[in-house]
Structure 1
Amino acid sequence: KRAANAALFDRYLSHKVMKALLSKANFLFQRGLFHQADAAFRECWERQPSVEAALGVALSSLNLGKLLDAQNWAERVIAWREAEPNLTGHGYAILGTISTDLGNYAEALEYHLRAWELARFTQSLYALARNPLSTQNAHVKKVVLSANVKDFHERDYIRVLFAQGHLLRRMGRLTDAYSNFNTANQWLRQKYPFNSHQEALRLQTLIHTVGQHISDISDTRAISLARHIYVIGLPRCGSTVLAQMLAWKTGYVSAGESQAVPKTIVALQQKLKQPILPKDFINADKEMLRAFRDGVTTEYKNTIDITATGVIDKQLWLAPFVGWLLTAFDDALVIWLRRHPGDQFISNYTILFGDERRFNHHADDFVQAWQLHDQLMSMWMQMFPGRVIPLLFEKLIDEPEKLLQPIYPLIDNVRTDVRIEDFYQQSAVVSSASDVQVRQKLNRDGIGRWNAESKYLSHRSGALEQLIRKYPL
């Protein structure tokens, strides 16, 4: 009997220790200390394998950008589920989150549906509404739209409204979506001081987005005479080539990679004594937007003459400030240029390795930069329909005239006496690593280089391969 009691006490003590370790790991994760959280969850797993520990490692790996590691740990959880069927709704929701980030949208639907069925987990309802496959799945649409907001309280109430609003918007029912977002907005205004609440700020962004769709804010009058054209992308995406093409075809002044916008942003940040974030343009008053516009215009006038024509500026690294550009300048058009991530990484690695930016040196850092840039530009494209034009570098090289033809009606002046393929004949100054490239005819030398180099990077390119699979070409 003493031995049995001692064994029982040991199990109890072990359980308490594990509970404390898991609490510590969860605390670190919630504070955003993902490296420490990852180590803590792994210690829990080594002491006593459990679903909670495996899920913690998987989610920490996901937040650290270690997609393959996250996938491996998620597979452990799935295997564990067969032996231990009591996986919670929260556990299924984490599996759904991992599957979504890995691009396994069908699996993500299954996991989030299970989380909703088990625990009415509203984060999963929101994830179902945002899943790219949700509009094609009648059961998912029924689950999301049939959720009764009156059954929920506080934050869950808002999440249900968010979920239904997003799905309605994606289904094309814009008026219904706007009604949902407005209901949530009114509730939040009563419940919280609007400007100090993060959820309210995010909601205001959504209302602004849907409102633009409903009122067709992408009025062609605002951009039919675009005189400010910004080519935006990550380094080595082909932005210099595109900017030179457009300058050749339109007669606009090529600003190269000017400092007009960065200098103005720095000046405003010094004036405000705080950084300007992507969300800040929503609350920016007319005076601040006017100061931004006047500052950029002044910087242009100090360097180039744009009084007679428009300007084409290759503005790398400005994805966070696209909202400012398009709100301050009614005649601005943003062209978002993307390139195959494998080729782009190889180009950065070989051409810009000496640069201080980390993502030129390591595939995982490049993937994080790519994903952040992609999220920001996708958000702006939704918020300013018709004013952010996405293009692919590979199609630009193969069929430049065909690709750019839809953009010409948005530009003030398009020359008919020149071919865009002859852009290399101009003598405009180019101060970038692309100087040689823009002095010769278009070629495909840089397309597909990833295939020849991938074997040398295979041990470090897991996350990069995930990006490559998702790329449209």
Structure 2
Amino acid sequence: MPSPTAEHRPPSGAEPRLDGLAPAAMRQMQAAAHAIRDGAEAVAMQALDGVLAMTPGHPEALRLYAILHARAHRHAEAKAVLQHAIAQWPDYVLAHSDLGNVQQAAGELDAAFASWRQACALAPQAPMPWFNLGRNLQLHGDTAAAIEALQHAHALAPDFLPALLLLGDALVHAGRFDEADAHYRAALALHPACGDAWRGLANMKTRPLSGHDREQLATALRQPGFGAADRIAMGFALGKVCEDQGHYEQAFAALNQANAELRQLHPWNADAFHAHADALFAASARLPAAADPTLGREVIFIVGLPRSGSTLFEQILAAHPDVEGASELPDLERVLGDESTRRRQPLLQWIAAATADDWQRLGRRYLELTARWRRHKPRHTDKLPSNWLLGGVLGAMLPGARIVDARRDALEAGWSCYKQQFYRLPHFACTLTDIAAYIRDYERIMGAWQAAAPQRIRIQRYEALLVEPEREIRNLLTFCDLSFDPACLDYHHAKRSVRTASATQVRQPLQHNTARADRYGALLDPLRLGLGLPMSGR
């Protein structure tokens, strides 16, 4: 790639994306953009080399080059190219925004937010920098700041649906449900079949949808022409409103159709998952003893099935003055993924070769990535349910961490999963038989890990909490090596962002009427059969 120069400087504040390009260079730039869109890296690089040969140092060519580097995980190269562009054109908003994206990917989070904020400062009347900042603040758990940035974006572009929807999500996470409802309905006023708006309304579990909502959803779903994503989200919302109103057969039919469409996008392979879970369990049983058995004592992992009370248990722990509730973190997966990239092998191929020193290095890397959650309190939660698969790995990598297995009645948990739309595909929750198979694998493997290491893994039963809340909360705190604090009994008053589908539920006192499965009778017999439970008899 030719070295950048500073031959042409645009006026201060101007966006120089295509300034100064001859017609031939313009064609090359367009070809590069199309190739990037299509994933043709070699074609894009050749076209960009042509642009830079004709117009050395052109900022848009440099920015597109950086996108190619970033996609190939060449973060240092991407950062260097963007910094060259910014050195020549300090007011280049897109370059600052993309630099933030690259810095985030490289693990430089503070620098990334500085770049995103600089983009907003350079273009305070442009909605996209504010949206990008708000989206990233939301992803990293700073809900209050995310709301402020997204409100800027929405004020500047009131009809921009992504900002309206993400602002609704952020308001839910902050517990501002009336405002969230208003934003989702404003989105529906712009686009009545907006699946994300219906998803947002349906995910406020304790707020019933109306009869008018039911009619609107049913009417929309009978009309052709909507994309699969909108149809699926509306189907899950229709299932919720039908259940809320006691129409159980209609609720089941709507959820069955929505799950069938979701599964068509990317089918789950229960046999392959079973084999993977067993292989990982077997490999994890042979890991070396930890070099430092206390490493990770700052962390409380909460694992289990989705919809089993994990957010509730996190809310209880986060009410403690020594614990920050961090919600569902990607950092453990990132550390293991980066190691797989470094070794050029998937986890199952390198796990047996990793030494105690390797696991200690990976554990320290996880603690580095999550340090932001311990700036104000000494400990934090990591509540990603699927981390149960790594119960053995955590014993070698973060042996001092505590693992809370949130366990709910299998039939209720399985049915609750079936009613929830999950966005990470493929997902086990699209058929009742796959749900049952997943539950069997999960309970078998976590039961074995807990029996082998009761000092670091606790099965915390949701139903037991409902019967004797204070006893269970005291026992949970003791297991986590936390002193008792009465604030944990009043967890629903805790002021924190809750970034899961249970955001409304955990802001209420314990509810004792959450069971729903029996109302569906024989419709759930495939789930009962898979779990080895008696059939409904009706």
TM-score, normalised to structure 1, is 0.48
Higher helix share: 1
